[in-house]
Chains A and B, each alone.
Chain A
Amino acid sequence: MHSKEQVSALQISFMVMLFEIGSTPLFLLGGKAKQDSWLAMCAGSVSGLLLLLLLLWIQQRSRGLDLIGMLRFHFGGTAGSIVGWIYCLYFAYQSMRNVRDLGELTSLTLLQTTPMSITMLVFILIALYAIWKGTAVLFRLPEVLLPIVLFFYGLLILLLGIMGSIDFGRLAPVFEGGLRPILDAALPDIVSFPFGQMLVFLMLWSLWEKPGVPVRNTISAYIAISLFLIFMNALNVAVLGPTVAGISQLPFLKTVRTLSNLHFVERLDILVTIQLFVGLLIKMMVFYFCAVKGISGLTGKPMKWWVFPVGAVIYGASFVERDYSQHIAIGLGPSLKIDPLFQIAVPLLLAVSILLRSRFKSTPS
């Protein structure tokens, strides 16, 4: 009765929002721009929007295909499959990064003594269960989780406001170093994370219950969540000041800890941890799902075939990095370097191919 796994436009909006929130508000992105980091976020989100428009255009031109299908269509069977496999690896890799993030953060804040292998295993198993249950179930999760996450963020912001810790004066002077440092911070780092990660929706848009692409929903969700992320970035700086915010590992955690003089609950870390947990989980689930979906598209086997193997690979890969500093170093170094390749270069190639094809098609006729 419910075998058709299709997704409504609203569900896609919710997924966009929760996916983009992920763990982003916890970090101070664009910290290099100091108090102008929120401007860097603006620049990043605007560039991300341009990229998103490109992706939407590509999806619009290839009805009903997901990224793997597009690659195979435009680059030919063999080359397309190879690039497709690389993409699946990339998704699995991104998923692994989130798993490791959560493992590290859990051992940092919640369970100091429990081995990371257990928390990460639990984490993977949750995602595995959701993906095993299928697309429809996966896309229902944000509908419950996003309101909860936003509620908690709202609560924290409200408390911060009541306590008078927010001082937007700390954001001055605006444009201290001119435009240059802002753009330096924004490009390509902020574009790659989180805005460029909208790339995964090339795998997801084709699940929409109607033909075509939910353009309006995606873009409005993207803009709304960009504004939220920019605000959260500014909030971190407004509470902590650019220097403290810039150097701390998890500035938002620090921001929330300023609330400890509430004398009600000594530390509201738990709320932050819930945000983190939900955000990382959804992000990790989506990447995991994309990897599974991609491989099932490449091999022609049903998705349930690949849920366990891919999960095992992600779990195994999450042990490869030696420690947290190496994890961070890879994340900020090589990882950021290859992101544009996947997020921008290949989509551009696809776009070029679409343009050429449409030209060739139109000239003979």
Chain B
Amino acid sequence: MPVHSKQGRKHTKDPVETVIPAPCPLSPSLDETLQEISLRIGTSSDVIIRRFTNESLSSLSLAFIYIDGLVNADTVNQTVIQPLMEHVTLKSDAITADKAYALIKDQMLPIGGVQEGKTVEHMLSLLFEGYTLILFNGLTMALAADTSGYEKRSVNEPTSQGVIRGPKEGFTESLRVGTSMLRRRLKTSDLRIEEYKIGQRTGTGVALVYLQGIASEAVLAEIRRRLDGIITDSILESNYIEEFIQDGGLTPFPTIQNTERPDAVAGGLLEGQVGIIIDGTPFALLAPSTFFNFFQSSEDYYQRYDISSFLRLIRYGAFFVSMLLPALYIAVTTFHQEMLPTTLLISLAAQREGVPLPALAEALLMELTFDVLREAGVRMPRTIGPAISIVGALVLGQAAVSAGLVSAAMVIVVSFTAISNFVIPSLAIANSIRLIRFLLMLIAATLGLFGIMSFLMVLLIHLAGLYSFGVPYLSPVAPMIPRYLKDIFIRVPLWNMPMRPKTSLGKETRRQGPDQKPQSIEDQKKKAQLSGQQKKPQGEDQA
């Protein structure tokens, strides 16, 4: 290896080449162009190059290039190759390349998406999107016809965010399917979709989706700036984007939501959020997101408001249980036994009698065991599932207790903690407290309840200092905006929420007309009478 001087290194400081080489124009000679292209893409077996010449071989020479598997073969054959080969004019000797180009472009391609290009790079990028290239001898221009059609998964029910009532379709890996699902839900000219290509090797399509006038311009500008700033090799999943654009600072909490549900994205857009759909993954992003967004499920709006409010309170409760329960158990059994009722204390003490481990070790052991089982449950082949669950249930429950390794109370604590963790609708925030839980357990074992309170206080200060694209993470609670609290801890009836409940909003803050409360026939009669009396005191006969 040649020794690089320090100066030489400074010139190429980025590992990923940020310097884009000057685009290579198409050569007038078809052979040269083809040579250049095959030099660039090598001899891949899926690249199909098809030459076409007219009978006299003199005036016109064309080539089709497409990638097998990215195109729909029927489309290519029927709408590109067949018309060109059978067309009479193209077969005549008199035709020049110029004329053929214009003819093909304007009249012969029964396809919506036809693009022109002048550089090899442009043509190649179209080729990789499933276009069929048509190259002409003697011209520095080329045509590309959209013949893309690749195998994709059909629309299925979202697996990570199920609902009982509500739409059952989820995003698929295809970007276009995703945007179409949003278009179908939001039939308004305000729905804007801006497309980005991110990732130098993957060239992943990323669509920024928002509702003009509802999303805040400042937030949009910030998201665009951050998306433009991404220089990386690859974007394979939405988390790549998430990590590149989320607000700086170390935090275990997510500041961007992800969802598989198009209705959740549509709902977010209507409340002023901005959606980001990424090609190749069914998980779309929603930003800016506050802490409380992660506790809202789309089903909250598909059910009656009373039950939704109740469920939402349960979720917050479950959040705290999932974070605190093992720590509280440790603190109470280690430091503050006097807090328990005497009978419970005796029963607990009796259980812990034969357990060889201190409460902290017992709790850590069981929590880790559960996390192992959980991870196994995600990774294992489907067919082994039942075996694992039997082993898990037996190991975690019955056997560990009867072997005297852990106390029965500890099993209850761990199971309830685990179940509570699954109540939280967003996996992102549920995962963040999985880690915090361990920290809390250690603190509870050293400083008891005082430690737990202190840590919660630190957590609160941390959360109060977080921002998601300039929106305070704890808004609308801190800083408090009272009229936005209608959809945070409880959900009031839809007709009682005339304003959009977000702190990052554009101009259109009102979402429904006034007086949307449903009225019974009696109410209407009364109202009519009242207004009748007010308007015309002389009275009307039919009343």
Contacts and interface: CB of A to CB of B under 8 A. Distances in A.
Nearest to A113: B335
Interface in A143-178: 143-145
Contact of A264 (B338, B341, B451, B479): B341
Contact of B478 (A144, A265, A278): A144
B472 interface: yes
Given A114-B447, A141-B464, A144-B478, A266 B454 contact: no
Residue from A118, A140, A270 whose CB has the most chain B CB atoms within 10 Å: A140
Contacts of A133: 461, 464-465
Q: Main SS of the interface on chain B?
A: helix
Interface size class of B (residues with CB under 8 A): 20 to 34
Contacts of B461: 126, 129-130, 133, 137, 141
A147 B34 CA distance: 72
Nearest to A134: B465
A264 B454 CA distance: 26
Interface residues of A, number: 39
Contacts of B447: 111, 114, 118-119, 122
B221 to A, nearest CB: 11
A126 B443 CA distance: 14
A129 B482 CA distance: 27
A313 B120 CA distance: 69
A247 interface: no
A267 B336 CA distance: 10
A8 interface: yes
Interface in B431-453: 447-451, 453
A137 B449 contact: no
B340 interface: yes
A281 interface: yes
B342 interface: yes
A270 B458 contact: no
B480 A266 contact: no
A126 B457 contact: yes
Given A111-B447, A133-B461, A265-B341, A140 B453 contact: no
Interface string A279-322: 00100000000000000000000000000000000000000000
Contacts of A180: none
A126 B458 contact: yes
A62 interface: no
A328 interface: no
A277 interface: yes
A143 B480 contact: yes
Interface of A: 1-2, 8, 10-11, 14, 106, 110-111, 114, 118-119, 122-123, 126, 129-130, 133-134, 136-137, 139-141, 143-145, 263-267, 269-270, 273-274, 277-278, 281
Interface of B: 218, 222, 335-336, 338-342, 447-451, 453-454, 457-458, 460-461, 464-465, 467, 470, 472, 474, 477-480, 482
Given A2-B472, A111-B447, A136-B479, 8 more contacts: A10-B480, A111-B335, A143-B480, A266-B342, A267-B338, A270-B336, A270-B339, A273-B449
